[in-house]
Structures are given as C-alpha cells and as structure tokens.
Amino acid sequence: MEQKKFYITTPIYYPSDKLHIGHSYCTVATDTMARYKRLRGYDVMFLTGTDEHGQKIERIANAQGVTPKAYTDKVVAGIKELWKTLHISYDKFIRTTDEYHIKTVQGIFKRLYDQGDIYKSTYEGWYCTPCESFFTQHQLVDGKCPDCGREVEKVKEESYFFRLSKYQDRIIKYMEENPEFLQPNTRQNEMINNFLKPGLEDLAVSRTSFTWGIPVEFDPGHIVYVWIDALSNYISALGYGSKDDRLFQKYWPADVHVVGKEIVRFHSIIWPAMLMALDLPLPKQIFGHGWLVINGGKMSKSVGNVVDPNVLVNKYGVDAIRYFLLREIAFGQDGNFSNEALIQRINSDLANDLGNLVSRTVGMIEKYFEGKLPQEQSCTEFDADLVQTAQTAISKIEAAMDNMMFSDALIELWNLIRRTNKYIDETQPWILIKEKANHSMLANALYHVAESIRIVSILLQPFMPNTPKLIWKQLHITAGELTTWESAKQWGKLPKALSVEKANAIFPRIDMKKELQELEDAIKASQATAIANQNKKEEDKKQSEIPQEITIDDFCKVQLKVGEVIASEKVAKSKKLLKNQVKIGDEVRVIFSGISQWYTPEEMVGKKVVVAYNLKPRKMMGEMSYGMILAADDGADKLSLLTVDNDIPSGADIS
C-alpha cells in the first residue's frame, strides 16, 4: 500500500530581529503536528523558512552598513539555531533569497503577466515601512498606520497589478463548498463578510521605490512585491516550475498551512487566487491560530515586552516550554503568557502529575522487588478501568489531533496520567507489601502502572521530544516495537519480568516565589539588552545624521580631483544608475552614479566633474565603481553636478 503523504508548513518568518516566544508558538505547534503524523505512519514534508526581501530589511542593512544579504545571513543563522533549541524537526528550510525560489517567482510573474492576470498601472497610496504594508487613504487611522499606529509615507509609482478581483466569486464559492478549507470556522465568516463580499481590489505586486527584492525579469526597474514572492515559497520549495518537480508532484496540494490570524487574509484570498490563476489545486486547509499575548496585548519589540525563548528553555528545558505553549492556549484562540502560569503548569502537571508518577513507580519497583518485577502476577479489581481509560484516551487524542486541538489532546493525556496516579492510591502498594500473600497482586499493580506509563510516553512524543526517552531509560525500553503509536493500543506489551533503573526527577519542582523573581530578572535583562541594542542603533543613526565638525587634517584625507566624462551609458537593471568612463589625468576609471533621472548619458559626455578620488572601490550592480562623482542635491527633486571650467585639465587636484 502506498504511504500516505502529509505536507505541512509554517509561515516564512521576517528576519527583522531575534524571534520571540510568540513566533516559536506557531513553529512548535506545526512541529507537533508533523511529529504526530510521522508517528501515525505518514510520509511527512514539513516546511519552514524566512521571508527576506523588502524595504524594511534594506533599511536595517543600510543602517548597519552591510548588504541586505549579509544582514539576513546573520539573522537566519540565529533563527535556525533557535529551531534547533526547540527541536523543530523541519524537513526543508526555504529562504526567499535562494536562487531556485527567485527563478520560480520570476517564472510565475511572467506567466501571470503573459496570460493577462498581471497588468501595468500606477499605484497611489500610503506605505508603512515597519509593517511593509501599503494602505489606501480610507484605511488609515488618524492618518497613521492602522496596524501599528506609526507614521506612513505617501507613495505614487508605476506598478504591476494582479487581477485579484477576477477571482472573488470563485473564492467565495470555494469557501462555501469546502467548510474545512479555512479553520477555525469563524475565520471563514470573517473573510467572506469583511473582505470578499464587499469586493476585492486588484493587488499591487511590484515596486520601483526600492531594490531589495526579486527583479521582474522583463522590466528590471521593478521588483516583485511581498505576497507573490512570499506565498510562492510553498510551491517553489517543492521544485514547482523547475526541471525537477518530483517533490511538487508528490506533496502538492499541502494538507495544511499553519498561519497566525493576521495573515489569514493573505493565505485564504490572495494565495487561492494565485493558485487558481496558475491552474493548480488549492491547499486542503489554512489554519489561523491566535496570538500569544502579554496582559492582553501582542508581544512586540517596540513595546519592549517580548519574551526570549532561549531564556525559558535554558531555565526549564525545551519540553516544559513546548508543553506550556500547547497546553495553555487553545489553538485558534489568543492565550496569555505569564511567568506564574508557566511555573504553575510545570509544578502541577509536569512535576506533580507526570514526574511523580514515573519516579514513585520506579522507586517502588526498586524498593519492593529490587528493581525486577516477578513473572507471576494476579489481578486487582481496579485493572479494567485503567486499561479502559488508556484506550479511551488514545482515541480522544487522535480525534483532537485531527482538528489540531493540541490542548484538548493534552487534557486527555493528563486524564490518563491522573487516572494512573489514582490507581496507585486505590491499589495501595505500601499496604500490599506488608503481606507476602499479596505480593503477586502488588507486582500486578506495579506492572499496570508501568504499562500505563509506557503508553503515556508514546502519546507524549509529538509534544515533547526528550521526556519519552528519559522515561524509556528508566523502564529499560528501547525505541522500536514497544514505542510505536499502534503499540499503545495493545495493553500488556511491556515484558512481565520488568526491570527498572531510577534516575533523577524528570521535572523537578520549582519554588514559585524564589523562581518568579529570578525569571523576571532574566527576562528583564534580555529585554533590556534588546532595548539597549535598539536605542544604540537609533542613536548611531541620529549621530550619523548630525553634521560633525572635522579638522583640516580630516578634510585633507579626502582627495578630490577633476575628471572628464568620456563615455556614459544607462545601467540596464537600474532606474537610477549611469555607468561613466571618467578620465582623470592619464587613467580612465569606471564610476557609477545615481543621476539618470537628471542627466542623460549624452549630456554627461564632455563634462568636467569633481571626483572623490581616494574613495574605497565598491561593487554596484555586480561591477566595481572606483570613486564618486559629486553633485548638489536639495533632498527633494533637484540635483546638479559640480563641474569646473573647461581650461582646467582632468587630473587636477581640488583643495
């Protein structure tokens, strides 16, 4: 029989800064589902990655004096490190700067243009740089960005548009006929009533005002803007549009795109429209989860309330953090993060219920039977109910996982853990040990508890990657036949002559009062570092804008010379640049200059210009530029080259 496939994705993350616990939430949930499906025998493809283009990244990189790619390389390395820390088992990590992705996006853009789904027009509107979003006048709130409340910039530029409006009726029909498509259900009504029925506008899908993006191949001044670039990752990662599209043939359509609620609109409207235009099947499901909030507000760097997942993992271990995220918040709804709630969960659910169950069971087997249960065992009156509870828990967990209800699945699992603890209280091993005649019943009771723990450890695997292994070590189980999901449905697989080995508590109890203070200090320290870094960046930026006094010696370091432009041409892929051949004395240099809006190549030839001569050469549009031609700029729309009278020869010093 052919193995069933399961393709699941997270959003691709903006590498604008360190990711916080809110970002980790989405990825941990997706990872849990991927692990679960693998355990259920599926051939899983789990995709995550980074969304690296855009003006925001370009500006941050410029402010740091590095190229956007150098900047994203650094941040992406940190993101991969975080996923390692959180045991994220992705199968593929896509970067939108990957060459194959760029090619696929260019191919998609061209195809949509050729078939008339993309056309050229003029975009007029307001742009919020931090949110990377364009807004119409009526979408602004008090003249500011409706999402973050910050200042917006007016923009008017030539742009390509995607005919989104054309697909409106087909999308409404699709949603109505496929109620499973957008989950939770409430999100579907929101999309239909708030966006689709009032009417979709065509979408601006290219920009000319910045350069950090995928160039539109047939119109190089334009770069592909945001959503066509970002959303295509889900198919470009599988090789769609390339010579080798076997993964695409195998895994598409995706089973589920897991996304945060604020990007549901793009995934449930723009993405289906793009796929319809490309004549491709739609993903089976978009699941819009809620946010992790702090005191009711979204975690955000600008508010200074972000919680660094590394701080939490270092203190409590990855499994405790994953458990908290998945148990505390009903997937689909918002949920509050607080240090108290985290410690409370660790103490009650992990240390008390689970940790205690394992350590007291292993402890009793060691104490009463020197670590080895006897073969002969006789039943107790409580056995049947425990066995039944285990089987019911498994089917309820499966049902919950089918609906991505991670917290419900964990509630069912903890019912079994608590029932097992209750079984110990009912059978009272400490009383049974007293009578030799009861030892066979005692062995049976401890066997039942150990077998229940084996089942618990199997069911824990999707949620917690480490804990099951710690449990198996104590029960002398090796991963394999005794740890498959199906084996959890077979009571009694653990060998009767069980031997065990006690180890440290898997979840030590935490002193809430002492810990709260320490944890708050650690989180505050990490927030303070983040804020200090941010302030420093802003301060550096301000400093660089204040004109500084320099000494005559400083001034003399700049060598200015007269140069004569002997040839000039436009640079094909740039709207601004001219490539000039400049004669300076006996040498001829290539110098690029961003002046093509003001000077044609013909006007340049013969001009005697002022050249910054000893400037370090730098790469522009793939070629080296040796120096700079000086010009006066009024900061708005006027620019004039600095020139000298003709009778001064080229190569003359300017001082």
Task: Give the binding range for ligand MSP (CB under 6 A) out of 255-263, 370-378, 441-449, 531-539.
Answer: 255-263
Residue number with CB closer to ligand MSP (226 or 443):
226
Taking the complex as a whole, the smallest distance from the CB of residue 25 to ligand MSP amounts, in Å, to 5
From the list 618, 563, 621, 620, the residue with the least C-alpha distance to 588 is 563
**From the list 216, 275, 292, 460, which residue makes contact with ligand MSP (rule: CB under 6 A)?**
292
Residue 158 bridge partners (DSSP) = 122
Task: Give the binding range for ligand MSP (CB under 6 A) out of 175-183, 225-233, 346-354, 480-488.
Answer: 225-233
Residue number with CB closer to ligand MSP (13 or 135):
13
Q: How many residues bind ligand MSP (CB under 6 A)?
A: 20
Instruction: Give residues with Cβ within 8 angstroms of 138, minimum separation 6.
Output: none
7 binds ligand MSP, rule: CB under 6 A: no
Helix, strand, coil fractions of the chain, as percent rounded to 5: 45, 20, 35
263 binds ligand MSP, rule: CB under 6 A: yes
Taking the complex as a whole, the smallest distance from the CB of residue 350 to ligand MSP amounts, in Å, to 22
DSSP string, 176-245: HH-TTSEESHHHHHHHIIIIITT-PPPEE-EESS---SEEPTTSTT-EE-THHHHHTHHHHTTTTTSS--
Task: Name residue 123's amino acid.
Answer: Y
Radius of gyration of the chain (CA): 32
Q: 646: burial class by Cβ within 10 Å (0-12, 13-18, 19+)?
A: exposed
Among all chains, which residue has been given the structure tokens 């160039």?
A: 215
332 binds ligand MSP, rule: CB under 6 A: no
Q: Which two tokens stand for residue 322?
A: 């994953």
Taking the complex as a whole, the smallest distance from the CB of residue 531 to ligand MSP amounts, in Å, to 18
Taking the complex as a whole, the smallest distance from the CB of residue 331 to ligand MSP amounts, in Å, to 11
Helices (H) and strands (E) in the chain, counts: 23, 26
Q: Which residue is nearest to ligand MSP (CB)?
A: 260
Q: What is the C-alpha to C-alpha distance for residues 362 and 195, in angstroms, rounded to an integer?
A: 58
Taking the complex as a whole, the smallest distance from the CB of residue 328 to ligand MSP amounts, in Å, to 12
291 binds ligand MSP, rule: CB under 6 A: yes
- In 442-577, the DSSP E strands lie at 560-570
Q: What is the C-alpha to C-alpha distance for residues 182 and 169, in angstroms, rounded to an integer?
A: 16
Q: Is the separation of the CB atoms in 293 and 322 below 8 Å? A: no
Task: Give the binding range for ligand MSP (CB under 6 A) out of 260-268, 412-420, 455-463, 640-648.
Answer: 260-268
Residue number with CB closer to ligand MSP (306 or 449):
306
Taking the complex as a whole, the smallest distance from the CB of residue 15 to ligand MSP amounts, in Å, to 8
Residue number with CB closer to ligand MSP (145 or 482):
145
Q: What is the C-alpha to C-alpha distance for residues 190 and 175, in angstroms, rounded to an integer?
A: 12
**From the list 224, 299, 394, 510, which residue makes contact with ligand MSP (rule: CB under 6 A)?**
299
Q: What is the C-alpha to C-alpha distance for residues 292 and 129, in angstroms, rounded to an integer?
A: 24
Residue number with CB closer to ligand MSP (262 or 653):
262
Q: Which two tokens stand for residue 295?
A: 């005191």
Residue number with CB closer to ligand MSP (313 or 565):
313
Taking the complex as a whole, the smallest distance from the CB of residue 263 to ligand MSP amounts, in Å, to 5
Instruction: Give residues with Cβ within 8 angstroms of 73, minimum separation 6.
Output: none
Task: Give the binding range for ligand MSP (CB under 6 A) out of 5-13, 179-187, 509-517, 639-647.
Answer: 5-13
Taking the complex as a whole, the smallest distance from the CB of residue 54 to ligand MSP amounts, in Å, to 9
**From the list 7, 13, 36, 127, which residue makes contact with ligand MSP (rule: CB under 6 A)?**
13
Task: Name residue 224's amino acid.
Answer: V
Residue number with CB closer to ligand MSP (25 or 240):
25
Residue number with CB closer to ligand MSP (23 or 439):
23
Site track for ligand MSP across 43-82, x = CB under 6 A: --------x-------------------------------
Taking the complex as a whole, the smallest distance from the CB of residue 188 to ligand MSP amounts, in Å, to 18
Q: What is the C-alpha to C-alpha distance for residues 21 and 222, in angstroms, rounded to an integer?
A: 36
**From the list 7, 18, 22, 407, which residue makes contact with ligand MSP (rule: CB under 6 A)?**
22
Q: Which two tokens stand for residue 298?
A: 């979204």
25 binds ligand MSP, rule: CB under 6 A: yes
Q: Which two tokens stand for residue 263?
A: 């990007």
Q: Is the separation of the CB atoms in 471 and 319 below 8 Å? A: no
26 binds ligand MSP, rule: CB under 6 A: yes
The alpha carbon torsion through 26, 31, 34, 38 (nearest 10 deg) reads -170
94 binds ligand MSP, rule: CB under 6 A: no
Residue 468 bridge partners (DSSP) = none
231 binds ligand MSP, rule: CB under 6 A: yes
Q: What is the C-alpha to C-alpha distance for residues 597 and 606, in angstroms, rounded to an integer?
A: 19
**From the list 6, 7, 8, 11, which residue makes contact with ligand MSP (rule: CB under 6 A)?**
11
Taking the complex as a whole, the smallest distance from the CB of residue 23 to ligand MSP amounts, in Å, to 5
Q: What is the C-alpha to C-alpha distance for residues 559 and 557, in angstroms, rounded to an integer?
A: 6
- Peptide bond preceding 309: is omega within 30 degrees of 0, i.e. cis? no
Task: Give the binding range for ligand MSP (CB under 6 A) out of 11-19, 122-130, 452-460, 463-471.
Answer: 11-19
DSSP string, 551-562: -HHHHHHS-EEE
Residue number with CB closer to ligand MSP (22 or 462):
22
3-state SS, 366-425, equals: HHHHCCECCCCCCCCCCHHHHHHHHHHHHHHHHHHHHCCCHHHHHHHHHHHHHHHHHHHH
288 binds ligand MSP, rule: CB under 6 A: no
**From the list 230, 321, 424, 494, which residue makes contact with ligand MSP (rule: CB under 6 A)?**
230
Residue number with CB closer to ligand MSP (302 or 388):
302
212 binds ligand MSP, rule: CB under 6 A: no
Residue number with CB closer to ligand MSP (137 or 300):
300
214 binds ligand MSP, rule: CB under 6 A: no
The contact set with ligand MSP (CB under 6 A) reads 11-14, 22-23, 25-26, 51, 230-231, 233, 259-260, 262-263, 291-292, 298-299
